[in-house]
Copies of this chain bind each other. A is one copy, B any other.
């Protein structure tokens, strides 16, 4: 049952080559699987996670105690820890994925050419997806569910700090795949922690169609620098709320508060507030007092400091920072154009919001800000696959190719042309 046995004698290149080869073969079987077969797997897998909770927690406890022994940070230990409620959420997530529409096979366009050939664009899986991630063992279950539902085989390469938890989940994956009549190689966990495996994996452009790295910026840069395979990446979320001169100031206060403090440690929370100079005097003192009363530390530009002398100065590098914490930059801007300039210069094309009652300004902002989600009179925190109605998400892409923004099931597919004729040839 333990996948690693047969791999023991292999070097990293051979090992990952074999895993990828098996994944490619499994992907061909999976591409023709019915939606009900894929859903059957999701429901069985969810059930097994619950049934095997005790065993999962046992394996996870070993990872946790190793991590504590190695003095890894408390935040990291927290990310790798499983508990019954987290496992329940994972199982619920899988059941929700089973409820979603299957994108595979959908026809997104169909037309006929003057010579009588018919052309259609048909959604197909990408093939084999490699996920490279750190810490969170939940990703193993969650990413496997999303990939399989969208018809893709998946190779899961988690961090060494969570290898026992991941292998325990992988056994449940293999069991539920087999029970649903799918290949156990459809979703494989790389059974060794060797970093060289990643380097070798990133060269296999014939066998792997897409790499999704999930983790810190260091991991993502390493993957982008070394990959021959296309990468869907998310560097960071430096998100802004611009409070326009025509904003409803009470609404602006609520939106800024939500964007900053509702969950400061995530990518779609606000890092910098931009405030039009004509309303800064009315807006800032009250809004900042409230934010500070909830624990936020403010760094301001010179004009902010004229209104609020007690705040510290924002340095040039602060405007680029993703704090992921209760820290906020504030800049007073003389025009909407300067606000947009600021976002284009310091932002990360993730999520940016305007608060305004003026339709011309909101449309200008929507047109000129090239972020994956542009929000008008609502919180940046809504840039999320579930909140936007995609049903699920495997991540948020901040690169414009293939998918920009939250990636749901459809973003894990591509389309091919199917051309039907009755003997037409080209002149």
Contact = CB atoms under 8 A, between A and B. Distances in A.
Contact of A127 (B127, B262, B400, B416): B400
Contacts of A257: 425
A421 B376 contact: yes
Interface residues of A, number: 69
Contact of A401 (B230, B262, B424): B230
A424 B370 contact: no
Given A389-B113, A416-B404, A425 B258 contact: yes
A237 to B, nearest CB: 14
Contacts of A122: 366
Nearest to A205: B224
Contacts of A371: 416
Nearest to A369: B416
A124 B374 CA distance: 12
Interface in A388-427: 388-389, 399-402, 404-406, 414-426
B370 A420 contact: no
A363 to B, nearest CB: 10
Contacts of A113: 387-389
A265 to B, nearest CB: 14
B423 A255 contact: yes
This protein's copies in its complex: 2
Interface string A191-215: 0000000000000010001100000
A124 B370 contact: yes
Interface in A81-134: 111, 113, 117, 119, 122, 124, 126-127
Interface in A357-377: 362, 366-368, 370-377
Nearest to A248: B423
A374 B426 contact: no
A257 to B, nearest CB: 8
Contacts of A383: 417, 419
A52 interface: no
A223 to B, nearest CB: 11
Interface string A204-244: 01000110000000000000110010111000000000000
Contact of A254 (B28, B262, B366, B423): B423
B374 A419 contact: yes
A35 interface: no
Contact of A366 (B127, B224, B418): B418
A74 B376 CA distance: 59
Given A113-B389, A251-B423, A258-B425, 18 more contacts: A28-B344, A32-B367, A124-B370, A127-B400, A230-B399, A254-B423, A254-B425, A373-B417, A374-B418, A375-B419, A377-B423, A378-B423, A383-B417, A402-B402, A404-B415, A404-B416, A405-B416, A406-B417
A-B residue pairs, 6 tightest by C-beta: A378-B421, A258-B425, A230-B401, A381-B426, A402-B402, A373-B417
10 contacts: A32-B368, A122-B366, A124-B370, A257-B425, A376-B418, A377-B424, A378-B422, A387-B426, A401-B414, A404-B415
